[in-house]
Structures are given as C-alpha cells and as structure tokens.
Amino acid sequence: MSDKKNVNEQSKDEQLEQYRSDDTGKQMTTNQGLKVSEDEFSLKAGDRGPTLMEDFQFREKMTHFDHERIPERIVHARGYAAHGEFEVYESMKEFTKAGFLQDPSKKTPVFVRFSTVAGSKGSAETVRDARGFATKFYTEEGNYDLVGNNIPVFFIQDAMKFPDLVHALKPEPHNEIPQAASAHDTFWDFVANNQESAHMVMWAMSDRAIPRSFRMMEGFGVHTFRFVNEQGKAHFVKFHWKPVLGTHSLVWDEAQKINGKDPDFHRRDLFDSIENGDYPEYELGVQLLSEEDEHKFDFDILDPTKVWPEEDIPVKIVGKMTLNRNVDNVFAETEQVAFHPGHVVPGIDFSNDPLLQGRLFSYTDTQLIRLGGPNFHELPINRPVCPFHNNQRDGYGRQTINKGPVSYHKNSIAQNTPAPVPEEQGGYVHYQEKVEGRKVRTRSESFKDHFSQARLFWNSMSKPEQEHIKEAFTFELGKVERKAIQEQVVQMFANVSMELAKEVADAIGATMPAGEDSKVTKSSPALSQENTAKKPATRKVGVIIADGFNGPEVKTVLEALKAEGIQPEAISDKLGKRKGTDGTEIEIDHTFLTADSVLFDALYAVGGEDLSKKFVKNTAYFINEAFTHFKPIGATHDGLKWLEVNGIQDSAGVVHSEDMSQFASEFVQAVAAHRHWEREIV
C-alpha cells in the first residue's frame, strides 16, 4: 500500500507541489507521454506539399493553443494575487466557533487576489476605480472566502440592479469606449437616476479610488455578516483589512501618467515586494454588533451603501495576514481561482442584506461558465486542505476517480455514507433567524436615505482630500458629452455639499444649484487618509546621480535610507556604474528614458561634476514633476542647484543640509509623510 498522503489530507503547499512542473532539462513529449522527435515543422506530403490530417502532434499542439484562453471575469478581470498565511491574535470563541479564529499558535494558509473592477484583463492598473480584495482561507473546516473591495460600501442596495450598474459602467457598447474608466455618459446617467449610488460615488471620486499600491489600501467585506458562537448566540459583523503600512494614494495626474509609463504598476509593486522579502501585512479587524442593537442607529445596518462609523462601533483588531509567496503561474492560480461569498465555515453566516443575498447565487453561476463546469473546486488553487466527500459525480473537468457503485443518499450498500455530520461534530447549520413577511418586490423604508452618509464622508475629509474630490468630479463630468446629465449630477450632489456642487458647476459650465447646504455635521476621522499610519519602509526613492559625486557622504545617506527599509534606485543618463570622488562606485538601475518621477515615492538629487545640458534638463523635469505631485525631494551638494534654480528649496517636504546625518534623518521623515499638501505650487 502506498504511504503517499491523500490529496485532501495534505497542507496547501504540499497539495500544490504535486501539480507544479518544471520542464527545464526534460525531454519533449505529447500530452499523452509520447516522445517528440521534431517540433518545428508540421507533417507534409513532400517538403512543399500540403499538411496531412494525420499529423496528430500538430493537431494536439494547435488545439490546445486555440483553447488556452477562458472567458475573463465580467468584472474584476484585471487582477493579481499572492499566497500567504493568517494568524489570529486571540481566541474569538466568545463570538464565533470558526476554527481558524481560535488558536493564536496556528497559521491558516491564504490566497489573496487584488483587482480593478471596470477594466478588461489587459487594461491599466492605476485607473480611478474600486479595487477587489478577495481572500481565500484554506481552513481545516473547509474554504472560507472573504470577497470584498477596498471601499466599504457599494453603488446599489439590491443585487437585482447589479447588471444595470455594470452595463452602465463598462465601455459604451456602440464604440467600446472608454476602457477602465467611469468618465462617460452612461455611468453618470446611471448615477443621476439611481441616487442610492451617492455615497459610493463620493468614495470613488476620492483618493481611495487611486491607491498607491495593493500593499497600502484597506479591504472591506462590504456586507453585514453574522458570527455565531458554540452556544448559538449571534452577532452582526463587518470585516476590515488594515494595511500595516497605512492607507496611501496617488494623485490623479500621477495616476494617469503611470498608466502610460507602467500599466503593470500595481502588480509589479506586489511581485517585487514579495521577492524582496518586504512581505505585505494586513491586520484583520471586525466590527461587532449584538442583535439587540440592530435598530439603534440612524441607518440600516443591512444597507450595503452605508458604513458603520468606527467611532460608533469600534473596529476590534483580531489577527494578521502576511503575503509571503508569489504565484508560480498566473493562469493556473490567479485566473483559475474561484471566490464565492457563500464559501463559509461553521461560525460565519449571512445577513439579509439584499445585495449579499444576490451574490450568493451569482458567484457560482459565473464560475460555471468561466471554468467550464461544476468541478472548478477540483482545480489545485481551489481545492480545500480538508477532505471532501459527497455524491456529486462527473461533469467537465472532473479529476476525482470515484470508486464504488454508490452515488446517492440514502443507501445501504455503503452503510449510508458519505453521511451528514451533526452540528456538535462540526456540521454546518444555518443560524435560525425567524423570518416572516409577505412576498413583495420593494425596498425597506430604512434604505431610502441616500445622502446623509455621503455627507458624513465629505465632512470627514481633510481640505486636500476635499479638493481632490472636487477635481475628480470636474474631470469626470468634463468628459460627459450630454449637458443634461452634467446638470442632473450637479443637482444631485448639492444634496451632499453645496460647496462641492457649486465649484463643480462653475468649472463645467452647469447651472448653479440653489437651496441650503446639508444639515449633517457629523464626521468620522477614521475615514480620512490623513489619519493613517505613515511609515517610510518599502518606499522607492529615485537617486539622480552622475560621475564625480561625493562618495562618502552619498554612501552615508543611502545606508541610512536602507536602514529604514527605504529602497533607493539610481537614475542617470546611461546604465553601468558611476564613480564618486573617492572611487566609490554605484550601479545605475535606470536611465532617464526607462524611469520617470511618477514611478517613485520620492527623489534624491545628488548630481556630479561636468553634467551635460541633457542631464540637467532631464533632472529638472523629474524634480518639477515630483514637486507638483507633492512628493518629498532631497538634495545634497551638486543637487542643491536644481532646488535653487526652481526656487523650491524652502518648500515643505524639500530637504537639504550640509550635515549628512541630519539630512538623512529629515529626509526619512519627509518620505514617511507620503505627500506634502501644504506645499505651494510655484
């Protein structure tokens, strides 16, 4: 008897190992194992004759190629993923019986896929959009999928409207324009005529919609779920992922330029960070609410267009997720992974959120067409680490070879197995919520306030964040061709902020809204990125350098940056090495042609002796652009003249000093701040 573990008893890493294949050094064969003697030419009748139908090798190779692609996801098509692990800080037994939330000494493998929503698989990554944040926990009780976004609310309240939203958001069907963008007529027409979208639109027009990286954005479960403990007591729960590096964003001009300079910016950042050992970390937080308190707020806790303000219902941090391994094959893992909010474990259940209820149907339905049938759970990336046994059989893509004649319940041939499992032995039992009511197609009155939380969000923003929202509305509506839609949107958002609506109206030539401003004065500081963690670690600094730099002092600065986890990358007019005054050599990572200031978090201008006019011109461009994007800029020695020429040496976030230790310390602080909004643009 073989001592090889059953696939369902292996760890996730062991399980995937048997599916990995390295063809290096191997002999070529067909998919049937037949050794191939020639792979350059098809079988012909004479060297200039027709190809023969009997060429099975050609047919196999070409047929497989013709079928390599599967339908891309309708939404969230552009995605990237990584493996990792999750560990809980303390037992959550008081609230849930979910096994992976009990033992702090245990690590649960996870797979996380980040994505844009609107764009196709080939679109750019730094577009203005919500971002998917989907996590698959491979627990001993089965797979649990937390399928959320980087924005805690959504455009609509009922899943019935989801096809309408996506149809409006996608490129317009008559010309397939614009790609991965919401700045067009059909989207804003939908917004103006479906005003439940007001809160989500405020988030989408904010900096949250253009994150600096996947590593620096929050994640949310969006919906209200339930925790259920061993005693059957339930709490409503909302899930949060809090990035350890803080929540940071790009600026709009920068985001647009990155789309041209590096459309793979976010996936490259995630891949490189993991390869460098700078593992992304996120803490899991939960907001918990007893069932007795369900109706104590001025919003409906089941409404997916509403947040639970953290000041009213605090976020309890319960664990940490670390992403520590890149995928081996993007198609086999990232593209074939199948998430579903209905993949739950004992101790986690659903609420009556009507958007969530619709997703519980839609996700399985989607996987059936994308992955070719009902056996997508057997693909390596989707397999649970615990055993699975049932009477499901056959179908496209079946990998399990079921033995025995029985595939039905109840039976006597196999002693009525596989058998259901009682709740006390781990069987999943739905929370026994009492439900009564007439069959109706309607919306609860408690869902009909569409503007209070949109105003709450506006009130919570810092002044720079509010300015960015105004600019985003102005840009988006400026791309709308139909004047009537512009007018409708301006009038709609006067319900959120008269200041916002009037400034946008003035900028796009729309009619000024009339009336009084919203009476909502409440704010939630937790919603502003001004209050996030600010750390220098993993930030990329472009170091502009040429021959003749001050070797010892530059070396001191670079070592100080690296000690803080900052990643300096050298930029010059050509590749190779640049030599300092003392013989110190620095390897150049990029030229001015292969890099751009938008690809770095900060710049450090060093310079050198005998600089060409072209070098000086390129450096000036880099520094001016970084300055207009509010980025930290440091300069020493020859680099100081660039600050002086542009008159920015005394601006916020611009650091220079003759004392290298002081310079390094101040520059690290400037980099940690991320942006310097108080800077005057000159």
Catalytic residues: 76, 149
Give the bridge partners for 320, in sequence order. Answer: 87, 283
The string over 257-288, giving b where at least 16 C-beta atoms fall within 10 Å of a residue's C-beta and e elsewhere, is: bbbebbbebbbebbeebbeeeebbbbbbbbbb
Radius of gyration, CA atoms only, the chain: 28
CA atoms within 13 A on the CB side of 81: 26
DSSP-derived pairing of the beta strands 633-635 and 602-607: parallel
CA atoms within 13 A on the CB side of 498: 9
E strands, 140-191, are 142-149
Query: What is the Cα–Cα distance from 316 to 242, expressed in whole angstroms?
Result: 11
Query: What is the Cα–Cα distance from 368 to 338, expressed in whole angstroms?
Result: 10
- Enumerate residues 6+ apart whose C-beta is below 8 A from 322: 84, 85, 86, 279, 280, 281
Find where tokens 């002796």 sit. 609
Q: E strand or H helix at 55, and its extent?
A: none
CA atoms within 13 A on the CB side of 34: 9
The distance between the two most distant Cα atoms of the chain, rounded to a whole number of Å, is 91
Peptide bond into 243 cis (omega under 30): no
Q: Which of 357, 338, 93 is nearest to 224 (CA)?
A: 357
The pair of structure tokens assigned to 338 is: 């199948």
Distances in Å between the Cα of 468 and the Cα atoms of 457, 482, 505, 526, 673 are 13, 24, 15, 18, 18
Distances in Å between the Cα of 127 and the Cα atoms of 115, 179, 212, 214 are 11, 10, 11, 13
DSSP-derived pairing of the beta strands 602-607 and 540-545: parallel
Query: What is the Cα–Cα distance from 220 to 344, expressed in whole angstroms?
Result: 16
Give the bridge partners for 338, in sequence order. Answer: none
Q: Which of 40, 49, 42, 111 is nearest to 80 (CA)?
A: 111
3-state secondary structure 627-669: HHCCCCEEECHHHHHHHHHHCCCCCCCEEECCCHHHHHHHHHH
Find where tokens 């980025």 sit. 631
Q: Which amino acid is at 570?
A: A
Q: Which of 302, 301, 287 is nearest to 354 (CA)?
A: 302
Query: What is the Cα–Cα distance from 305 to 191, expressed in whole angstroms?
Result: 13
